[in-house]
Amino acid sequence: MKYKSIRYFLAAIQLLICLSQGIAQPFSIPANSKHAEAVKNGGIYVIMNDKESTEAQKYIKDIQNIWKASKIEFITYKELGNYTQQGNYFLSFWAGETNYNMPGGGGTTSVTGVKHGLSIWTFRDSYLKSNKFKSFTEKDYIFWLDRYSEVLANIPLCVSKKLFSSQLETYKMDFSGNGLIYNWGEGIFLNYIKYLQNSFNTTVPALPSPQKLKKDTLYIPAIATVDYGIGMKPKQEPVTAEMLKEYRFPYKIISLDELNAKLLKEGRDFNYLAFYIGAVEVLNSKNAGVLYSSRNFKQKSSTDVQKHFEWLNEAVEGK
């Protein structure tokens, strides 16, 4: 009985971690919204840890080459206190606490983790009107940014246990991810910048339906991460033929390094699978348009990789 209870306890932890992370699905700002107009007219601040580093300078150049939706300026987290005015918008890694109650032992236990995203956000008016912003400090953005901010567009990130347990670590890294973000890399990051920019671009070419994948090859990262295991560590599963047995259209499994290299080659136009916690999307390499989203197709999430390929097959078949 003792071991059975432990199994239930561990299963509950795993389920709740998955749910807490799975809530944050990709979303964009409606192109005609007041926020989109404000960004186009006023610009956006990209926040980094050390904008003078060699690595940061490379990312700055890459982002400048892609971002055409508005003016853009690069600042550091330590400078953020100088920009706490109404109408300022930011693009950065974002981390916020996620709290939930875990049943067990005749009661509930409060568990806290950190949800992460590559996000566009602004400060909430209610906090800007309070006195708290008279002395906005480094401690504020590390521990309270999620309470001060309104996230307007978000790419949810599957992160290591180190990041899941700490907001501080999130703000120490620049866009390389420091090896702490799974299914990540320079090419993937830069395509996500296009994805977020699409929020402000009303002239994004219309994308074909998922049925285009009947003939076009779908590139799939060799490692799937749609779940969190025990101990808040992402469950990385090799993508296997067994998982894909219900997907009956052309595909090619490639390593994450190959996918990033392919995305960095100019002019390449192909479609690839993006894994999130509980969800997947098919993205276009050229303009980051979304051909397929499991959340839109089924209105629910799943941590079963094979189930995602079954759903995708249905979408391509036009069901």
- Whether 7 and 117 share a structural domain: yes
- Whether 57 and 184 share a structural domain: yes
Mean pLDDT of 242-268: 93
Name the token pair of 73. Answer: 């300026």
Question: Using alpha carbons only, what angle is made at residue 295 by residues 25 and 119, rounded to the nearest 5 degrees?
Answer: 20
Name the token pair of 295. Answer: 């959340």
Q: Give 85-136 as a DSSP string.
A: -TT-EEEEEEEEEEEEEEEETTEEEEEEEEEEEEEEEEE-HHHHTSGGGGG-
- Residue where a domain terminates, one of 200, 229, 244: 200
- Whether 251 and 222 share a structural domain: yes
- Whether 149 and 257 share a structural domain: no
- Whether 183 and 244 share a structural domain: no
Tell whether 115 is covered by a domain.
yes
User: What's at 176, amino acid-wise?
Assistant: S
- Residue where a domain terminates, one of 138, 173, 200: 200
The Cα 102–Cα 9 span in angstroms is: 9
- Is 0.85 topped by the overall pTM? no
- Residue 131: the pLDDT is 58
pLDDT at 5 over 50: no
pLDDT at 24 over 50: no
> Domain range for residue 186?
2-200
pLDDT at 11 over 90: no
User: Is the backbone of residue 10 left (phi > 0), alpha (psi -120 to 50) or beta?
Assistant: alpha
Name the token pair of 173. Answer: 């890294």
Name the token pair of 277. Answer: 């916690």
Binned at pLDDT 50, 70 and 90, residue 230 comes out as: low
- Whether 194 and 219 share a structural domain: no
Q: Give 139-181 as a DSSP string.
A: HHHHHSHHHHEEEEEEEE--B-HHHHT-HHHHTT--TTGGG-B
- Residue 35: the pLDDT is 85
pLDDT at 318 over 60: yes
- Whether 70 and 194 share a structural domain: yes
pLDDT greater at residue 45 or residue 302: 45
Name the token pair of 78. Answer: 């330590």
pLDDT in tens, 28-64: 555 557 888 888 889 999 999 899 999 899 999 999 9
Tell whether 76 is covered by a domain.
yes
Q: How many CA atoms lie within 13 A of 13 on its CB side?
A: 14
- Residue 170: the pLDDT is 75
3-state secondary structure of 234: strand
Tell whether 205 is covered by a domain.
no
- Residue 7: the pLDDT is 39
User: What's at 92, amino acid-wise?
Assistant: S
**Phi–psi pair at 104, nearest 5 degrees:** 150, 155
- Whether 27 and 67 share a structural domain: yes
The Cα 137–Cα 35 span in angstroms is: 26
To the nearest whole number, what is the mean pLDDT of the chain? 78
- Residue where a domain terminates, one of 200, 220, 247: 200
- Whether 264 and 171 share a structural domain: no
- Residue 1: the pLDDT is 41
Tell whether 148 is covered by a domain.
yes
User: What's at 145, amino acid-wise?
Assistant: L
Tell whether 137 is covered by a domain.
yes
Angstrom distances, CA of residue 271 to CA of 98, 226, 265, 285: 33, 19, 14, 6
- Residue 231: the pLDDT is 54
For the four alpha carbons of 308, 309, 312 and 313, in that order, the dihedral sign comes to negative
Tell whether 185 is covered by a domain.
yes
pLDDT in tens, 157-213: 887 777 766 667 777 778 988 888 888 999 999 999 999 988 776 665 566 689 999
3-state secondary structure of 23: coil
- Whether 183 and 242 share a structural domain: no
- Whether 188 and 217 share a structural domain: no
- Whether 218 and 192 share a structural domain: no
Domain count, the chain: 2
pLDDT in tens, 231-245: 556 677 889 989 999
Question: Which of 153, 286, 285, 304 has the alpha carbon at shortest distance from 294?
Answer: 304
pLDDT in tens, 123-149: 888 877 775 555 556 666 655 667 788
The Cα 113–Cα 229 span in angstroms is: 14
| Tokens 């097959």 sit on residue | 313
